[in-house]
Amino acid sequence: MTACLIHFNLDTSLLMRYLGNNYTGAYREVDKIVALLREYKIDHDLIDKYIRVMLTGCPNRFVADSSRANALLHWRMRNGLTVNKLLGEVLTNMNKEDKNNFVITLPHWIARYTPNLFFTPQHILVKPGRKNRQIFDASKRHTQHSIPINMMTSTPLGSEEACLFGRVREDIFRRIYNLRISFPSNDIVIHANDVKSAFRQIKLHPDIRGAFSYIIADKLFLYPVASHSARTSALPIGRSYDRF
């Protein structure tokens, strides 16, 4: 990867385009999926947004800059204390991310020479009885003047979809309740509401992927996919299609 990046004059967008495949979602048969969505009478506006997400990438709009002082602050502050405390576990997870083409792994020293990078701190969310989760802490402000990546995105401008994730459970229960009233004697079949690596299905546009980077230990990771805590990664909530 290092040799490839140097070949492209340290241009991360060219590196991403060259790699293609799972890094850009090039394997997806968007035309077939869109044809299926049209059969179910999905709103044309939602289908158009889906096409943009799948073929162009996210966010919808990203025009931002950062002062040198702000960029250096995020570079030097690095990650939360939990990352160093659980470094072995974190590196194991990053190895899995690399294997699945969810990150591009480079030596950290190359960051000094690579233009248009910005560094977002990582944090490990630890909850008793639950698996530890690595967080792309896109809202973390190291000082009152620091500007994280979430403050650079287009969400405040209204160009991104609203995040409806918090309503999913309530909406599903309401849907089941109404179906039971309408069809008291029928079996109700609703698909599982979990998509494997859901947020990884949304890819970032190659031109801005350098802005979504982070450093762990002696490795620089370029992040080509949407993250759970980024403002632009809210997945649209689709309705289940029930068959009786």
3-state helix, strand, coil in the chain (%, to 5): 45, 10, 45
Instruction: Write down the H helix ranges in the chain.
Output: 2-7, 12-19, 21-24, 30-39, 44-55, 68-77, 81-85, 87-99, 168-182
Amino acid identity of residue 231, one-letter, is R
**pLDDT tens-place string over residues 27-70:** 889 999 999 999 988 888 889 988 988 888 888 778 888 999 99
Say how far apart CA 52 and CA 160 lie, in whole Å.
Answer: 12
**pLDDT tens-place string over residues 97-115:** 999 888 999 999 999 999 9
Give the closest residue to 122 by CA, choosing from 111, 108, 138, 106.
138
Amino acid identity of residue 240, one-letter, is S
Tally: H helices and E strands in the chain = 9, 5
Say how far apart CA 209 and CA 104 lie, in whole Å.
Answer: 11
Confidence of residue 117 (pLDDT cuts 50, 70, 90): very high
User: Rounded mean pLDDT of the chain?
Assistant: 84
CA–chain centroid gap for 193, Å, is: 18
Rg (CA), the chain: 20
